[in-house]
Amino acid sequence: MSASIYSNSSFTDSPYGLKLQQTISATGTSSVTIPTGINRVYAVVIGGGGGGGSTATALNGAGAGGAGGYSAGWTYVSTTCTVGAGGAGGNSSSGTSQSGTAGNSSVYGMVIAGGGAGGISYGGGGGGATVGGGGSGGVSGAGGSSAISYTGAPAAASGNPATIGYGGGGSTTAAATGTAGGAGVSGGGGSTATNTTGTVVAGAGGRGLIGGGGGSVVTTGSSTGGAGGTGDFYAGGTGSSGTGTSFGGGGGGGGYTGAGANASGVNGGNGGSGGGGGGAGCNNGIAGSGGNGVVLLYY
C-alpha cells in the first residue's frame, strides 16, 4: 500500500494554514488595506531581478542578471507596500556596451527582499547583490557573489556554482561553454563563453526558488545562449540557437509567479517575477530586463 502527502487535504503550501488574501505586483509604493481586527500579517516578499548585460564588442557575449531576493515572515500591519521593479537590461544598439542594472528592493512592514545583481557587459567583473539576491554572470572576470539571505544563510562565493546558499553566486567564463550561475533560493546569472568560432554555448542561469538569467554568446559558428534558470514553480526561458552572428541571446530566469521569456536572436529574454534577465550578444543586442518583484500577504 502506498500513500502520498499531496492527496492529503491536511497539507497546504499556505503558511500556518493562512489564506493568500492579496497579491501585489504593481511596482512602486501603493496603499494596502487590511481588515479591522487583524494585527499581524504573514508576508512573502520577492525583490526585482537584475537586468542582463549587453556588449557592442564584435563576436562577444555578456553575463546575465541574478534573481531577486526572497524573504518571508510575520510582520505588523502596514498601510503601504513597495514592490521593486526589475533592473533594466543593457542596450548596445547605440554601439556602447552596457551592464544591466540591479533589481530594486521590495518591502512590506519589516519583511524586506533586495534585488538581484545586474549582468556584466564584456570586459567587466561581476557585481554584488543585496539582501539575498543572486549574483551576476561574469564575462572576462569573475561573476558577482550573492548576498547573505534573510535567514542568515551564507552568501554563495563568486564563480562557485557548487556552493548552495540562499543566493546563488554568479559564474566565471570558460572557452567553449560558459559556466552556469550558482544554485540557491535566488539563482545567479549565467556567464558568456570566450571562443569566437566553432560551437559555443553560454552558461545557464542558476536554478532555485527563483532563477537567474542565461548568459549570451556570439560566434561565427554555432551559437547557443544559456537557458534561464528553472524556478521551483516556473521554468526559465530558452536561449537562442543558430549558426552565425544573429543568435545567442540568453533566456530569462523563471520567476516566483511567472515563467521567464525566451531569447530572440541576439536579444535576451525578460525574467519572470523576480527572475534575472538574459544576456545579449553583439550586433545591437538588447538584454532582457529583470522580472519585477511581488508581495503576497496571508492572513
Please count the CA atoms within 13 angstroms of the CA of 247 that sit on its side-chain side. Answer: 19
Distance between CA atoms of residues 132 and 116, nearest Å: 8
Q: Is 9 exposed, middle or buried (0-12, 13-18, 19+ CB in 10 A)?
A: exposed
Distance CA 210, CA 15 (A): 19
pLDDT at 276: 92
Q: Buried (b) or exposed (e) across 72-104, using 16+ Cβ within 10 A? A: beebebbeebbbbbbbbbbbbeeeebbbbbbbb
What are the grid coordinates assigned to 225, written together? 545562449
Tens-digit pLDDT string for the chain (299 aa): 455 545 555 555 566 678 999 999 999 999 999 999 999 999 999 999 999 999 887 777 888 888 888 889 999 999 999 999 999 999 988 888 888 998 999 999 999 888 888 888 863 334 444 444 555 544 434 445 555 555 555 555 554 443 344 455 455 556 788 888 877 788 888 888 878 888 999 889 888 889 999 999 888 889 999 999 999 999 999 999 999 889 999 999 999 999 999 999 999 999 999 999 999 987 789 999 999 999 999 99
Phi-psi region of 9 (alpha: psi -120 to 50; beta: other; left: phi over 0): alpha
Check residue 28 and give its pLDDT: 96
**Which residue in this structure is represented by grid cell 541576439?**
266
Give CA–CA dist 158/146, Å, rounded: 7
Give the pTM.
Answer: 0.86
State the Cα–Cα distance between residues 262 and 167, nearest whole angstrom. 23
